[in-house]
Structure 1
Amino acid sequence: MYKLLLRPLLFQFDPESVHHFTFSLIRNVSKIPGMKALFRSLYLVKDKSLERELFGITFKNPVGLAAGFDKNAVLYNELANFGFGFIEIGTVTPRGQVGNPKKRLFRLKDDYGIINRMGFNNDGLEAAIEELKKNKGQLIIGGNIGKNTDTKPENYTIDYLDCFKGLHPYVDYFVLNVSCPNVDSHAKLNDKDYLIELISEVQKANHTFEVQKPILLKIAPDLNTHQLDEIIELISETKLDGVIASNTSKDRNGLKASNDRLKEIGNGGLSGQPIKDKSTQVIKYLADKSNKAFPIIGVGGIHSATDAIEKMEAGADLVQIYTGFIYEGPKLIKDINKALIKKAN
């Protein structure tokens, strides 16, 4: 029904406007008595074979929603009814910020992709905390954290620490977002020495809490093998808990969209089917070269159960969807989980 009726209608309108409309629709429909139970009956798949134990957390199933969809943690309780095993909120910055000027979100329909240059638009740390206090405990919540765009380089670490300490009581794991292509002031975050410093400071903060939370690093799909080797070394040196591979891509090679259309859109991070293979290659390289020394969450171009299984066979322990959720609808989550059950039996 989604792909035949709802998606063609929604795709007639501006993507960012549709995003906000969809949030309101899901929230309001979920308030109707019986609808949450109906969603769960349609999409939720339960089976012991789907459970995954990673960094001390038991995930009911390995299919998550990537950061960027529920930036401000306002819809995770409702989204839980669609069968996700975990949801990652954010990217959260200490202070709310409007992000980049609109238009900043574009569909590439023929490519089953999206280009965005949102620029970490979010309501800020305090707003996210207030929303997370409403958590009904239905699934695992990850906190994706970053810095404010106008923060000076010498204060980057303070921004990450503020978010880490503030969200610590409310999320199950953390992701340090250091690879977003849509924030111009990220150059320092690509420096290995600075990353060691940042991770060390966040880990120190982690140990001030009675219960430590896992910390992962989200990396770009455009890294070369030398840079990926540095990531492996970095994780070994810092004892980081894992990696999310990968973020959006700056690469525009092989797209069906015309050069005129791409020029009209301008810069931004590409997600969806066009980065599927690139993301899978990064996962496989990290898993093989490190001898699977750390957990990997695979994300990028998952539009079918086959795509998800391909990521797992390459070395991903869990997967996340975002653009695939927009193009394929909530049935994608069910399809992946059912395929994994079938594969396990």
Structure 2
Amino acid sequence: MPDWSYQTLFRPLLFKLPARTARDLTLGAMGALSRLPGGALVIRTLGHAELPPILQTPLAGIPLQSPVGLSGELDVHGTGRKALSQFGIGHIEIGPVTAQAIEDDRPIIRDEAAETILYPNLYVNDGLDAIIGRLDKEHAHLPDSSSEEAGAPQIGKSAKRLPYLFRLAHMPGLNPEDALAEQKTTITKLAPYARGFIIDATVERDWTSEQTASFLAQIREAARLAAPERPVLLYVPLDCPFGKLKELLRIVRDERFDGISVGDFIRTEVGDIIGLTGKQRCIELLRTISGTIGSSVPILASAGVHEPQDAMDLLEAGAAAVQLHSGFVYSGPGLAKRINEAIVYDRVRSKPAPAAHSFWRDWGWMCLLGLGMVIGGILAWWIAATSVILPYDAAYLNMNQTMLAQLNRRLLPFMSHDRVTLAGTMMSIGILYGLFGWFGLRNRLHWAKTALFTSGAVGFSSFFLFLGYGYFDPLHALVAVILLPMFLMSMRTRADQPSRKPPNRFNDPRWRRAQWGQLLLVTLGFSLATGGIVIAWIGMNDVFVPQDLAFLCTTPEMLTQLNVRLVPLIAHDRAGFGGALFSNAIAILAAALWGINQGERWLWWTLLIGGLPGFAAGFGVHLAIGYTDLLHLSPAIFAFALYVGGLALLYPYMVKRKPVAEPLSPTLR
């Protein structure tokens, strides 16, 4: 559920449902998908939330792949953890965890205008035993691996082996002695699964300062004994009074807590409120904590992160890492990826870009491959629009152009229409490959290499579709032999660099419109891929659709009677065009899924220029030969509408310069 689908389709539908129903439905659906064979791969493919090494961040001794995590209250029943782990996060908080289950069936209420969520009780959870049972099931599906630390089995990790931080709370109404005994048992049972603990002593707000201090001192010592390698953070509620905050900070120093976790909700008489309104309070707490105990104690902040700039503001105020909750609901599952992109940009923008490899070493071969395909497409277009058939076609049929025209006056125009559309598709692929090579591989962009590899693998493999009816095309074989080494040489490029364009940091109107534009282009990619598969299948089986036969005023049997090799020749054109269209679609789809970002002007122009030859060939040749059946042309018309609409909606986001520069956070340390 990337942002281009969440913002445009799913969020409007989900927000019509009760909040609890929408949450359980969404997490349940994502969790079910992730458990299917290949489901996690589908989620990763749609999101492409890669985590470059520069994002690695330590938190109280825990090495995180990203400083962005998920709050425990987001997935209170743990149904979507495997899916959520694919969204570019560095850790998952589980909790609050209490000894017994806490339930509350009162409705959860969203305030869309304020972007807040009112929970009747944010300490709702399934209880210690149920949580451990779920973790055991997760562990049963993980491959055995050695621990990063002696005696610490890697159960608390998803398919991406993310660390789990457990936020522990005692059952309401307990005195400090009973709460301490309960928490000792909880820590002991969870120690094999945890990478760290967060101790929440704020359930009983009527405890005296002395009782709270004694409880925290003893629970810290108990954690040292039960889980000596697990860092322990102290939970500070978002609405913690500054007088009590000073007392908690003294305990952090005296008892040597490993870090602090600043909460994300404010307790009221009607429930617990979490949302955008908590950001400013969180910044105030971060500044107070940093000013009191310095930067030696890392802080995990969770409140008010609804767009990348919110996370940057919390990091600038002193947080070492952030967690998402309400922002995930209002902004979408892609928020973590967007924050990561902003952090990466902050960390690399002051550093010189690595020197590009020489043209001939690797990436330049993709530019030559693209140029070769453009030239080949132009030549194929010229031949298809003039003589139509080549000498080896005539030799295969044992018939020349004049004889074919005498058989059926529409036969050559029909064959021309197949070959011109193939030529236009070749030119489109060549433009995409050449510019992906120049702007993508040359700058070592991971998504560009993945797009080219996938599309190229499909394209070269589709050569065998030409053999579906036993016709070997020597020209296509020669082209494949020439271009394949170029493709292989270009794939040696090491693609490990992030984009150096300033990423989007705000949920502004341009970004929201761009989600619609991206949705249209993604739909275009899937539609073209489906069309390519269907055309290739038809080419290898039935060869013709009813509209083709109506245009030709004949049947396959009649054509076979005229020349037994005529249908195989036409089939080879159709199968080849289907394979080329599918290869082209993969390149477009990959760019639409992974490359769309603010200020990526080159990609917008690449998609514009790359699409023109294909559509010009398709519409132009049909008009030229009089094959204007509306049903036959409707898929192309639909694709063209997606193409124009997507680029139009993306233009302000990808091409136009913002009138006012966006604020930039200082480079993160």
Paired AA for residue 228 in structure 1: L
Are 1:112 and 2:112 counterparts?
no
| Separation (CA, whole Å) in 2 of partners of 1:340 and 1:15 | 31
Distance 1:300-1:43 versus aligned 2 partners, 3 A rule: farther
| Separation (CA, whole Å) in 2 of partners of 1:194 and 1:87 | 30
| Contact 1:296/1:315 (<8 A) preserved | yes
Out of 139, 144, 169, which is 2:162 matched to? 139
Paired AA for residue 67 in structure 1: G
Please tell me the root mean square deviation across aligned C-alpha atoms, in Å: 1.9
The CA deviation string for residues 105-161 of structure 1, in whole angstroms up to 9 with x for no partner, is 110110011111225222211111121221443201011111123545541212222
- What SS is found at the alignment partner of 1:87? strand
- What SS is found at the alignment partner of 2:21? helix
In terms of Rg, which structure is larger? 2
| Separation (CA, whole Å) in 2 of partners of 1:97 and 1:226 | 30
Distance 1:43-1:115 versus aligned 2 partners, 3 A rule: farther
- What SS is found at the alignment partner of 1:111? coil
| Separation (CA, whole Å) in 1 of partners of 2:38 and 2:331 | 24
Greater helix percent: which structure? 2
Q: Return the offset for 1:18.
A: 1.6
- What SS is found at the alignment partner of 1:82? coil
Distance 1:159-1:188 versus aligned 2 partners, 3 A rule: farther
| Contact 2:264/2:278 (<8 A) preserved | no
| Separation (CA, whole Å) in 1 of partners of 2:8 and 2:202 | 35
Distance 1:223-1:236 versus aligned 2 partners, 3 A rule: same
| Separation (CA, whole Å) in 1 of partners of 2:16 and 2:319 | 35
Question: In the TM superposition, what are the counterparts of 1:120-159 in structure 2 within 5 Å?
Answer: 120-133=123-136, 134-135=138-139, 136=142, 137=157, 138-152=161-175, 154-159=177-182
| Separation (CA, whole Å) in 2 of partners of 1:119 and 1:84 | 22
Are 1:20 and 2:10 counterparts?
no
Are 1:67 and 2:72 counterparts?
yes
| Separation (CA, whole Å) in 2 of partners of 1:307 and 1:280 | 10
Identity of aligned residues (%): 25
Q: Return the offset for 1:230.
A: 1.7
Question: In the TM superposition, what are the counterparts of 1:292-303 in structure 2 within 5 Å?
Answer: 292-303=295-306
- What SS is found at the alignment partner of 1:120? coil
| Separation (CA, whole Å) in 1 of partners of 2:243 and 2:214 | 20
Using the TM superposition, name which of 226-235 and 165-174 deviates more: 226-235
Q: Return the offset for 1:210.
A: 6.5
Out of 192, 197, 202, which is 1:169 matched to? 192
| Separation (CA, whole Å) in 2 of partners of 1:101 and 1:47 | 42
Residue 197 of structure 1 is matched in structure 2 by 214
The CA deviation string for residues 287-326 of structure 1, in whole angstroms up to 9 with x for no partner, is 1222223110011110111000100000000000100011
- What SS is found at the alignment partner of 2:266? coil
Residue 347 of structure 2 is matched in structure 1 by 344
| Separation (CA, whole Å) in 2 of partners of 1:197 and 1:71 | 29
Paired AA for residue 3 in structure 1: Q
Q: Return the offset for 1:166.
A: 1.1
| Separation (CA, whole Å) in 2 of partners of 1:131 and 1:8 | 32
| Contact 1:146/1:159 (<8 A) preserved | no
The CA deviation string for residues 12-61 of structure 1, in whole angstroms up to 9 with x for no partner, is 11111222112211112223443311322314221111101222210000
| Contact 1:196/1:238 (<8 A) preserved | no
Using the TM superposition, name which of 25-34 and 318-327 deviates more: 25-34
Paired AA for residue 272 in structure 2: G
| Separation (CA, whole Å) in 2 of partners of 1:198 and 1:341 | 40
Residue 226 of structure 1 is matched in structure 2 by 243
Out of 284, 307, 310, which is 2:310 matched to? 307
Residue 257 of structure 1 is matched in structure 2 by none
Distance 1:294-1:75 versus aligned 2 partners, 3 A rule: same
- What SS is found at the alignment partner of 1:96? coil
| Contact 1:43/1:333 (<8 A) preserved | no
Q: Return the offset for 1:97.
A: 2.8
Residue 316 of structure 1 is matched in structure 2 by 319
| Separation (CA, whole Å) in 1 of partners of 2:27 and 2:73 | 13
| Contact 1:145/1:176 (<8 A) preserved | yes
| Contact 2:97/2:167 (<8 A) preserved | yes
The CA deviation string for residues 182-239 of structure 1, in whole angstroms up to 9 with x for no partner, is xxxx2245x4322322222223322334643111122122233322222221111111
| Contact 2:234/2:261 (<8 A) preserved | yes
Paired AA for residue 339 in structure 2: I
| Separation (CA, whole Å) in 2 of partners of 1:151 and 1:227 | 20
Residue 277 of structure 1 is matched in structure 2 by 280
Distance 1:73-1:201 versus aligned 2 partners, 3 A rule: farther
| Separation (CA, whole Å) in 1 of partners of 2:216 and 2:177 | 15
Paired AA for residue 243 in structure 1: I
Are 1:160 and 2:183 counterparts?
yes
Residue 216 of structure 1 is matched in structure 2 by 233
| Contact 1:62/1:317 (<8 A) preserved | yes
Paired AA for residue 24 in structure 2: H
- What SS is found at the alignment partner of 2:74? coil
| Separation (CA, whole Å) in 2 of partners of 1:225 and 1:334 | 34
| Contact 1:69/1:89 (<8 A) preserved | no
Distance 1:331-1:119 versus aligned 2 partners, 3 A rule: closer
Residue 94 of structure 1 is matched in structure 2 by 99
| Separation (CA, whole Å) in 2 of partners of 1:246 and 1:122 | 17
Paired AA for residue 18 in structure 2: D
Residue 503 of structure 2 is matched in structure 1 by none
Distance 1:204-1:154 versus aligned 2 partners, 3 A rule: closer
Q: Return the offset for 1:93.
A: 0.8
Are 1:6 and 2:4 counterparts?
no
Residue 55 of structure 1 is matched in structure 2 by 60
Structure 1 regions of 5+ residues with no counterpart? 181-185, 252-265
Aligned pair count?
Answer: 323
Out of 28, 35, 54, which is 1:31 matched to? 35
| Separation (CA, whole Å) in 1 of partners of 2:92 and 2:122 | 20
| Contact 2:196/2:230 (<8 A) preserved | yes
Paired AA for residue 316 in structure 2: E
